[in-house]
Structure 1
């Protein structure tokens, strides 16, 4: 534990030391030396460092919930990593890495399958400096070699390299994002321009939401056969507004969308927003390591809205091992990947759970990518009520988006007066 503190906590000048010398372990508050020393000794003597650290990270995540700076829960991390199937030797990026949980899970996933220390390359970036330091410590304690870049906003510029795997759980509905320099050219609006950004060659994402920027940033960072998984608010998948519709159309035109999973509320962190997990893939043809079925021109929708369990003695929810395994087995069957048995389980659509759709059908529905519109539950009063509530929530969210966009346009206009 002391070694971990020395390695990861910032150095603090020690006035009692020789001139120019630096103490590597921060000086504790007056009167806390005894209890802090006892705590460090107790933690250092434990044989279960991993579970203890996991619990500390969960507690820290709850403490930061109000700032939306939460960490990805373990079962959600298993689902996200299992959905993109990383392999040994892959280059993996998390552009909003938080505590580094998705990088840790990627390493564990590959290690379990190769039985050796993976040779994969892991890289992460985090906006907040203290959280970035937590990520470094999390990886270091587990003996995982990874490159956590200096704190910074990943959206300010394109990634200089491409990656086989990109995983991201960015803050949902982030507002007032800006490119480097604080300006951007709004689509169809007057305003200061910036040099052409290869991530959005047609129109720049609106300042009112970073969600559209994250999707294009991630897609641009993928290698020719790369794949990615990320969390996105429902409105990005189902909004009928021009910007999200054009973005979905471009993704489908490039045949990048592989699977969209409608998740239960409150199982992916502390946000109250409804969200979907997106899986995008630059090469959906049959090939080793991905699947035996050619899925070009097709998209799998999974409606997992009700796939959750209550955390014992709590009002909190989680996916749980059973639901995580069910989602991954559905995706594996659709790809033609073998499950636990020797052969792959044949895929078939299941009412209310999953449906395979052609890009042509999706285009006929206004390029909507909402799984609940395709994997529809059997008719009944309860389903009709839920569908109406979901539609009203989506319409209200769209109205809020329009209000935010109008507010930013008015502020831009006032700046020019």
Structure 2
């Protein structure tokens, strides 16, 4: 089955469900049904012996069984899995309303999924489609961004991988895949994730379990920034796509031991997330984060924290990304890479990559990174760690701490990379519209930055 066919199956199933269900409930139900088909051959473990198997559900769906009998069997199967395998998880059946999914609707969805093949790919197509949904899609990081960060950090067998805001578990799944693809055992990678959203945590568990992966998702949903339950200095690799620009509205965090580089402004939690991540790294650890562009240049307390991070040689790279990569926000973002053990020839330096023009337009105001763009960025970073690296005007430059200090620790890539060596080819009308759209998003980002700075100043008075 080709990707377009997976998309058609998902689209058809959602069309069946979206009438009586809102989009998030429809997504959750479809994921749950595909999950049950994915795990149909996995032993039930501690689940009750009468847990309905997929074949029983499919046969019930095509039989003359009563509607309530079919819905009850589906709920029983889902709850048996959550009660046996997801600590502190709420029963999945809670998201399935009895009166809305009974009857022909549920039977049709079961039939569609029963006829599909290569189920992990189908599940992945669901997550990818849901990541493009502006309502409720914010805890599904687009897969092309997940792949970029994992390719840059290159997790290895035996390492401990952590995502403190794991959403659907994309970074954990991709880390295991990367290790296996490069000759290691996915079972030999420690996977740890936390998330405050019960629904996201449940999806993460299903996402991992459907692939035969085990992970520590904690005993309950938790905001790991506010209620940190993982040890400091414990992880070799950390990935995170934290919520952008939220307030740090907790008085009991003012004197937190994680704020080694300064207390983050209460008006914005971005630099609390940064220090939280850095505090989790082992003495040889590395981390990758997605952050709004404003984090590269915001003044006040944030500037002081940036100064400390750069002076301590923790920042390895900052990659400016195209606008429009996230379905739930138009804010432009950058990828920040941290490392506690740079190679000797890179100490006292930061790699800047200007990848703002690498996005492919896939819809109105929406972009994605192609495999070629992902490889170009990842190869540039990998070469920077080796001796083969060379600066390329307009694309990448390795700047010294002294140069960054001269820029008042502003980490905008464009300040260091400069203009391309050759003038670009003439743009088509579509390219010109895309460029003007990027500029407009840039103005939006500037406005957001100014608002943040004003709030910081007012908060310090």
In the superposition, the TM-score normalised over structure 1's length comes to 0.79
Matched, 1:165 2:237: yes
Give the Cα–Cα distance (whole angstroms) in 2 for the partners of residues 394 and 315 of structure 1: 15
Change (3 A) 1:32 1:8: closer
Partner SS, residue 248 of structure 2: coil
Q: Quick check: which one's helix share is greater?
A: 2
Q: 2:276 aligns with which of 217, 222, 233?
A: 217
Q: Which of 131, 143, 168 is the matching residue for 2:212?
A: 143
Task: Tell me if structure 2 keeps the 8 A contact 1:104–1:139.
Answer: yes
Q: Aligned runs of 1:219-298 on 2, under 5 Å?
A: 219-239=278-298, 241-285=299-343, 294-298=345-349
1:78 maps to 2:147: yes
Q: How far, CA to CA, are the matches of 2:171 and 2:419 in structure 1?
A: 32
Asked if the contact 1:262/1:304 (under 8 Å) is kept, the reply is yes
Instruction: Let me know the Cα RMSD of the aligned residues.
Output: 3.3
In the TM superposition, residue 74 of structure 1 has moved relative to its aligned partner by 1.5
Per-residue deviation, 1:145: 1.3
Tell me which residue corresponds to 1:306: 357
Q: Secondary structure at the match of 2:308?
A: helix
Cα drift, residue 376 of structure 1: 1.4
1:121-132 alignment runs, 5 A limit: 121-132=190-201
Say yes or no: does 1:330 pair with 2:380: yes
Aligned residue runs from structure 1 range 15-414, under 5 A: 28-29=98-99, 32-63=102-133, 65-66=134-135, 69-114=138-183, 116-149=185-218, 150-158=220-228, 159-161=230-232, 162-174=234-246, 176-179=247-250, 182-185=251-254, 196-201=255-260, 203-239=262-298, 241-285=299-343, 294-311=345-362, 316-336=366-386, 346-378=388-420, 395-405=446-456
Q: Output the CA distance in 2 between the equivalents of 1:385 and 1:116.
A: 46
Equivalent in the alignment of 2:85: none
Q: Aligned partners of 1:145, 1:52: CA distance in 2, in Å?
A: 20
CA distance in 1, matches of 2:375, 2:131: 24
Aligned residues between the structures: 370
- Residue 202 and residue 222 in structure 1: after superposition, are their counterparts in 2 closer, same or farther (change >3 A)? closer
Q: Give the alignment's TM-score, normalised by structure 2.
A: 0.72
Shift, 1:408, TM fit: 6.0
Q: CA deviation at 1:394?
A: 5.6
CA apart distance, 1:67: 5.7
